[in-house]
Structure 1
Amino acid sequence: MLQSLSINNFAIVKSVSVDFKSGLSVVTGETGAGKSIAIDGLSLCLGARADAASVRKGCSKAEVNAVFTLPNITLPKSTTDAKTSKKNTSATRLHANNPVKAWLLEHELILEEQPDEIHIRRVISSEGRSKAFINGRTVTLAQLKQVGGWLVSIHGQHAHHRLLKAEEQRHLLDTFAQHDELIDAVKTHYADYHKTQQKLTELTKAQQQRKDRAQLLTYQVQELNDFALAEHEFTELESEHKRLSHAQTLLESAQLSFHRLYDDEQSNALSIVQKSLYDLQELVEHDASLAPIVTCLNEATVNIEEASNELRLYCDDLDIDPLRITQVEARYTQAMELARKHGVSPEQLYHTHQALSQELASLQSDEASLVHLREEVDMLAVNYKDAANALSHSRQKHGQVLAEQIQKAIANMNMPHAKLAFAVTFNEAAPFSSEGLDEISIQVTTNPGQPMGNIEDVVSGGELSRIGLAIQVITSDINQVPTLIFDEVDTGISGPTASIVGSLLRQLGKHCQVLCVTHLPQVAAQGHQQLFVSKLTDGDTTETTMRELTPDSRVHELARLLAGDELTESAIANAQDLLKKVS
């Protein structure tokens, strides 16, 4: 809860320091005195937007300090998971029921000497720059807002108007029902459905392009399949094509070379070398220096004989087959034509064939995936609707319970004929959302014989305030924020109803700390603590102050609220009577 608040040089406040108590604290004062100044300062301390206009005229900076005792609360699992850090330390698990302490431990901001307190400080310079501190350490504005949301909930004069919004009505019902598992199930099934539906949409959008591409690829791949070029076939084909294209020239040249080397009866290379070898061998015995030449001629004889044999075999094997020449020529030409058609070299044609085949297979797989995805989307839609339907049944059941409790509470606030219901309609044809398929509205009638209608069309501002206060009291055990602040939410209420509203706020103070800015003496009398705001001016400067009232001064303030500025014995007696009734 909020222990203390000090405000310095903020707006028309020069210096205010207030200690707060548990239960219900009421703030009163004259109109225009600045009764909401403490709330504005606290809002600033908890992360509200600040600018240079917040700084008191003539001062260099404004400063707000707040001290809280850490709440011992347990948040719903989904809320705790969303608001705590992703770090999974033993300290955070130990304090999972206290998100503020867990957050302080994770960020090493805990005060060792005061581990159950948190000190928040906000400083705004006259230039509009802002700094925030938690337990003496600088923090970001986002961090300040996060922590502030765990500590305080502020309801302004128009806070109850949020009840007129459909999303707020749904949130209220879900918070009361505490069916987090059902909500999580709907969100999970929705996420699965939405993700798969997106994939299906993307595939469907490109379906015609894939069909056109697949049609072209089918023709191209079939053409390449029919040609069936092997991986290294073109290199071999090119070599054979060159050989067969020059087969006659090769044969004639090979035969002529064989004739010259070996087969010419009159003069061939072999016989000439052999004759020279024979003559030189006889001369070696006369001159040994001829021996190397004899050796070379011996080798030359062997080489000529081997070359002649190879040429004979080559000529025998060189088959000039016109049919084979035609076949190779045709396949070679077709390979060149296909390579030109696909814009690649003939050597790359095989790999192009494989790549196109894989692309075609992938497109065909996409079409199969499209069918599978449609089936999967249909299945996920059924799962989502089942989860949404289960959530809807829970909302309907808890909506009846909550409506009965609200109706009973507002009956005691001068709305005896009012009837209220949560209309929960499961719309299976509605677009899927993470919140389910329910259309939720609060239906109200305030007069006998009148049909029920949407709350925004039926209730007045005062009636709406009473309904809102009733909801705050009913959900006080569920709403784990330790400090609730109401800024003149009792506007439009008077007479006996004001007494009942005050009693409800006091009852709410049993579950949490309540601060209420009010102008109603019936509400102010219910406070466990009453703070008075006054405004002083010397003609040049204005200053707002806040102080806690003593029992005697409290009687006079209540009398002022009852009778106006001129106090009478009757007003004082009425004020005393109000306080006696409370005690």
Structure 2
Amino acid sequence: MLTRLTLRDFAVVASTELEFGPGMTVISGETGAGKSLLVDALGFLSGMRADSGMVRHGTERAELNAEFDLRDRPEAADWLKEQELDDDGACQLRRTLRSDGGSRAWINGRPVTVAQLAELAGLLVEIHGQHEHQALLSKASQLELLDAFGRHAPALKAVRDTAEAWAALRRERDVLVRAGDVGDRIDLLDHQWRELDKETLEPASIAELAADHRRFANAAGLIDTCERALARLEGDDAPSLLQTVQHLRGEIARARNDEPRLDEVDGMLDAAAIQIDEATRLLQRIRDDLDLDPERFEALEDRIGRLHELGRKHRVPPESLHEVRDRIAAELDTLRHAGERLAGLDDEIEAAAGRWREAAAHLGAARREAAGRLSQATTALIADLGMGGGRFEIALEPIDDGRPDPQGAERAEFLVSANAGQPPRPLRKVASGGELSRISLAIEVAALGLDAVPTMVFDEVDSGIGGAVAEIVGQKLRALGAKRQVLCVTHQPQVAAQGHAHYRVSKAEADGMTQSAVRRLDAKERQEELARMLGGVEVSKEARAAAKRLLENVA
């Protein structure tokens, strides 16, 4: 849900900040005041192409910021996490438009591409009105909305799973077919495997080999170090270290009766004597184990040389050669049984295609049933919205390119006839912006906002209507607001009266420049605004009374 929108130096808006809540928020104002600028701002924050003409005259850039609460759109939170743009639950979209035509975009303070901005905004905002940026004009979105309306998620998952299973089998078959005659490949791999299998390649073995090689390479120096240490410990030319400690213990023992704490010193020296004795024995074993055998050292060097040569041949460090060996063994096994596998794959592929056809037929039947219900409900709403004789249909166009499709065996196309006697045409080709807005509203109300986008923006949906029809439009928007957040730019008091919140856009001249200001209206100001919308410049007592009745009649 959109919670805050901030504009700076945008068109005729110097600076404004708006806060939004759930339900339906209406935006009104005099003609030319700039009430549709808020919709334009959301359009630019949704990836619309930058327009330097939207930068306020005399400034270098316009700044747009939108903040969203993602509790009603976990998919957007998941997207942020996947893109590594998450920030402790925050979701802030920012974009600047420069007077030289350039623009920059940020998500949660981090620079992003406009494409990334558009992808995230597509999960958050849907704009209905006289703009090209409308999700309902996309065939993909139309099919998604139909599936949401029909609650087809389990059937759609079955279609996707069977299509993916078929595709995986085809990929496996293609690999085997491309391999062709694998005899030469088998001979090469067999030679490589035998060459590797002669060696002990486990990492622990290679680590032990490296340690042995280092020990033999430095054997002379190690032996010298051990012998010098033993000479000091065993006392070849003087009393040994152990003898010295024992002598000290004897002297301390004679004085222990006079100082009890010497018992603790004696204990420490006793422990030191034990450690010295064990260290001496270990040094003797190490010295005895050290070998200056040149043949043994040469064998170690030969083995290390072979491992490094194998590593260079397979372009891996010696420690990874065991992985190469295992990979070669696995490929050998596959190739040796390739003929048998290839013969069986055709049957498996056909069986997988059969499972997809069954799942796709089930989904297609569900889509046809849902299309009928949605068409009927939308057609009834179109009539309510002042387009009597209009008709809404959903055409399901079969696709057959010989490959199981994860989306099913058909695509949806929304068709509309705005007037009786006219053939239905694709929704994206409907010429009138006002008609397009009302049709989009009818579809959304009929589908109860099941396309999951939490914020829906309707720009001038009441264009060309009035009276009772305008009141019905307002009621439908308010009903949709119970399911989704609805923002509506309107010039009809009957629509504005249905809002849960009301903003008014006004314009005034300051320092020789026209500026727009936006403010939220309280109850009294709202009644006065409705009276202005009803009566024009001169607000009469009758207009105020009518405005009061409009507000009192809101359910």
Give the TM-score category using the shorter length. 0.5 to 0.7
The answer to whether structure 1 residue 500 and structure 2 residue 500 are counterparts is: no
In 1, Cα distance between equivalents of 2:543 and 2:487? 25
The runs of 5 or more residues in structure 1 that have no matched partner are: 88-102, 111-116, 218-360
CA contact (8 A) 2:144 2:451 kept: no
**1:531 equivalent among 503, 514, 517:** 503
Relative distance call for 1:415 and 1:31 in structure 2 (3 A) is closer
Q: 1:417 to 1:409 in 2, by over 3 A?
A: same
Q: CA deviation at 1:547?
A: 1.8
Partner AA of 1:72 in structure 2 = R
Amino acid corresponding to residue 30 of structure 2 in structure 1: E
Q: In the alignment, residue 27 of structure 1 is paired with which amino acid?
A: I
Give the match for residue 512 of structure 1.
484
The answer on 1:180 being equivalent to 2:153 is: yes
Q: 1:2: which partner in 2?
A: 2
Contact persistence 2:52–2:99 (CA under 8 A): yes
Partner of 1:37: 37
SS in 2 for 1:396: helix
Query: What residue in structure 2 maps to residue 72 of structure 1?
Result: 71
Amino acid at match of 1:13: V
- Which residue pairs with 1:85 in the alignment? 81
Shift of 1:8: 1.6
Sort the Cα spacing of 1:45 and 1:410 in 2 relative to 1 into closer, same or farther, 3 A: closer
Name the CA distance, whole Å, in 2 between partners of 1:125 and 1:166. Answer: 33
**SS at the partner of 1:85?**
helix
Structure index of larger Rg? 1
Q: CA deviation at 1:436?
A: 1.2
2:223 match: none
Question: Relative to structure 1, is the Cα distance of residues 140 and 455 closer, same or farther in structure 2, using a 3 angstrom cutoff?
Answer: closer
For 1:269-284, list aligned pairs within 5 A. none
**1:81-131 CA distance string (max 9 Å, x none):** 9736359xxxxxxxxxxxxxxx87xx4445xxxxxx655554556564535
Displacement, 1:551?
3.9
User: Aligned partner of 1:28: which letter?
Assistant: S
Structure 2 counterpart of 1:19? 19
List aligned pairs for 1:466-477, cutoff 5 A: 466-476=438-448
Counterpart-to-counterpart distance in 1, 2:362 and 2:545: 58
CA RMSD of aligned residues (A): 4.3
Alpha-carbon spacing, 1:45–1:499, altered in 2? closer, same or farther (3 Å): same
SS where residue 64 of structure 1 aligns?
A: strand
* Counterpart AA for 2:104: S
Superposition deviation, residue 182 in structure 1: 2.1
Assess if the C-alpha contact under 8 Å between 1:532 and 1:546 holds in 2. Answer: yes
The residue aligned with 1:399 is 371
Matched ranges for 1:441-456 at <5 A: 441-442=413-414, 453=424, 456=427
8 Å contact kept, 1:152–1:484: yes
Gaps of 5+ in 2: 185-332
Question: What pairs up with 1:262-411 in 2 under 5 angstroms?
Answer: 371-411=343-383
1:192-242 CA-to-partner distances (Å, cap 9, x unmatched) read: 3345445656777897xx6xx99xx9xxxxxxxxxxxxxxxxxxxxxxxxx
Offset from partner CA, 1:160-182 (integer Å, 9 cap, x none): 97656544432221121232232
For 1:98-137, list aligned pairs within 5 A. 107-110=86-89, 118=91, 120-123=93-96, 128=102, 130=104, 132=106, 134=108, 137=109
Q: 1:64 to 1:571 in 2, by over 3 A?
A: same
2 CA distance for matches of 1:161 and 1:49?
Answer: 14
Q: Confirm or deny: 8 A CA contact 2:398 2:409 kept in the other structure.
A: yes
CA distance in 1, matches of 2:342, 2:536: 77
Residue 308 of structure 2 is matched in structure 1 by none
Q: How does 1:432-447 map to 2 (within 5 A)?
A: 432-442=404-414
Structure 1 residue 568: Cα displacement: 4.6
CA deviation digits over 1:293-347, x for unaligned, max 9?
xxxxxxxxxxxxxxxxxxxxxxxxxxxxxxxxxxxxxxxxxxxxxxxxxxxxxxx
Q: Which of the residues 193, 198, 201 maps onto 2:166? A: 193
- Structure-2 separation of matches of 1:175 and 1:163: 13
Amino acid paired to 2:17: S
Structure 2 counterpart of 1:577, from 549, 552, 555: 549
Amino-acid identity (%): 35
Change (3 A) 1:493 1:164: farther
SS across alignment from 1:7: strand
Provide the rounded CA distance (Å) in 2 between the counterparts of 1:64 and 1:427.
42
In structure 2, the CA distance between the partners of 1:473 and 1:71, relative to structure 1 (3 Å rule), is farther
Counterpart in the other structure of 2:493: 521
Report the secondary structure of 2:56's partner residue: coil
Q: Deviations over 1:225-265 (max 9, x none)?
A: xxxxxxxxxxxxxxxxxxxxxxxxxxxxxxxxxxxxxxxxx
Change in CA separation of 1:12 and 1:441 when aligned onto 2, cut-off 3 Å = closer
Residue 42 of structure 1, CA deviation: 3.7
Q: CA deviation at 1:7?
A: 1.6
Whether the 8 Å contact between 2:378 and 2:442 is mirrored in structure 1 is: yes
* C-alpha separation in 1, matches of 2:471 and 2:99: 44
Q: How far 1:441 sits from its partner (Å)?
A: 4.1
Distance 1:480 1:144, change over 3 A: same
Q: Is the 8 A contact 2:416 2:427 kept in 1?
A: no
Q: 1:413 aligns with which of 385, 409, 421?
A: 385
Q: What CA distance in whole angstroms lies between the structure 1 residues aligned with 2:125 and 2:370?
A: 27
Are the counterparts in 2 of residues 160 and 468 from structure 1 also a CA contact under 8 Å?
Answer: no
Determine the C-alpha separation between the residues in 1 that align with 2:365 and 2:166.
21
TM-score normalized with structure 1 length:
0.58
Contact in 1 for aligned 2:129/2:437 (Cα 8 Å):
no
Write the distance in 1 (CA, Å) between the matches of 2:120 and 2:336.
54
TM-score (norm 2): 0.60
